Amino acid sequence: MTSPSLRRARLRGFTLIELLVVIAIIAVLIGLLLPAVQAAREAARRAQCVNNLKQLGLAAHNYMDANTSLPMGGFFGGPTGLQWMHGALPQLTPYFEQTNLYNSFNSIIRYYDPTNPANFTVHGAKVATLFCPSDPKVAEGSAAYCGPGWAPGMPAYTAGLTSYRSISGPWVNPPRGVNPATDPNWQARKSNALGVIYVESSTSIASITDGTSNTLLFGEGVYGRLTKDPDQNCWHWWMAGNYGDTMQTTMYPPNPNKLIPTGGASSNGGSVIVISASSEHPGGANFAFCDGSVRFLKNTINSWPVGGNPFLPTNVTAAANGTYSVNPGASFGVYQALSTRNGGEVLSSDSY
């Protein structure tokens, strides 16, 4: 027969206080663990983003070996010769294992012509190499209806997007929406483009006299980072040859949406804020350089002052012919100097 004392010993359980203490300890451990898990996931996403940019940098070099220059950022063509055509990324597809897309693309018609379905399939293709894992919306594709070229009743389709854009220099030139056949200042604007991939560019490796290790080639551009642009879904189209889709500038430091509260159309016909680099990585963004390396540039990188005109930094003046220049006595910041191909700036490796 079991004694009463032994029965009481076997029946004794946790008290309410002990249970609460255990739950509190578990909650603290979970609270400590979750940030570590999130940090590990972000590290993995950032590593994949770095790999994507390395693939684009390698593709650009292979393209240059075959064609003697980097691909142009955009150009006019089509049946009338005056339509905006595709950008640099479609030209690079054979060099990052997307030859089928390249072979399926009809380059003599517009990439997004709503009246001609020839390129609908390619334009809507989702290319994993062009997705940053920390930018999940880019994988969803854009809305089917975009811009004044689409009238009610026109066929709808989804456009493939990109998280990466080429670096055209410290400002937009030549601008989108300007016809070289009718713009008397076109050549001046084209000469005012200081980066490596811009409208009608043909940059050779020899022309990058600032050094390939000190010149930006591609950078991140997060989908939807528009301050007050009602046409968000029409940006980041990977086939397009427009600023805001596949080209961007260093007009503002990385992630300018955190610095500039205003938005809308600028004097050159586009939204300056839209075409600046941004990412979902904490503290900055990844960039591919012309030597094929990829580096993380912080939001705090030395940059020229932002203020005054909401679209132009304090150091910059826009001329009547549509070109830009740095004010007398002012200079590029380190970030802007990295975006020029032949500015002659002297940059040390520990400055960024």
pLDDT at 146: 56
pLDDT at 282 over 80: yes
Report for 3-12, 47-56, 71-80, 168-177: range of highest mean pLDDT: 47-56
* Residues 185 and 191 sit within 8 Å (Cβ to Cβ): no
pTM reported for the whole predicted model: 0.82
The token pair that represents 337 in the structure block: 């100097």
Q: What are phi and psi of 84, to 5 degrees?
A: -70, 130
Share of the chain residues as helix, strand and coil, in percent rounded to the nearest 5: 35, 10, 55
Sign of the dihedral defined by the CA atoms of residues 87, 274, 352, 219, in that order: negative
**Residue ranges of E strands in the chain:** 76-77, 83-84, 164-167, 216-220, 247-248, 284-289, 294-298, 316-318, 324-326
Which has the closest alpha carbon to 334: 295, 302, 298?
302
Report for 129-138, 211-220, 270-279, 301-310: range of highest mean pLDDT: 211-220
Averaged pLDDT score across all residues of the chain: 79
Coil/strand/helix, residue 131: coil
The average pLDDT across 179-183 equals 79
Single-letter amino acid, residue 173: N
Share of the chain above pLDDT 70, in %: 76
* Residues 125 and 99 sit within 8 Å (Cβ to Cβ): no
pLDDT category of residue 234 using cuts at 50, 70 and 90: low
pLDDT at 42 over 80: no
pLDDT at 196: 93
Contacts 24+ apart (CB under 8 A), 259-266: 259/306, 260/227, 260/306, 260/310, 261/227, 262/227, 262/228, 262/310, 263/226, 263/227, 263/228, 263/229, 264/227, 264/228, 264/229, 266/172, 266/311
What residues are paired with 298 via a beta bridge? Answer: 284
Coil/strand/helix, residue 318: strand
Which has the closest alpha carbon to 111: 96, 123, 128?
123
Helices (H) and strands (E) counted in the chain, each on its own, are 7, 9
Q: What is the pLDDT of residues 79-114, one digit of tens each?
A: 665 667 788 999 999 998 888 888 888 877 777 776
Domain residue spans of the chain: 52-345
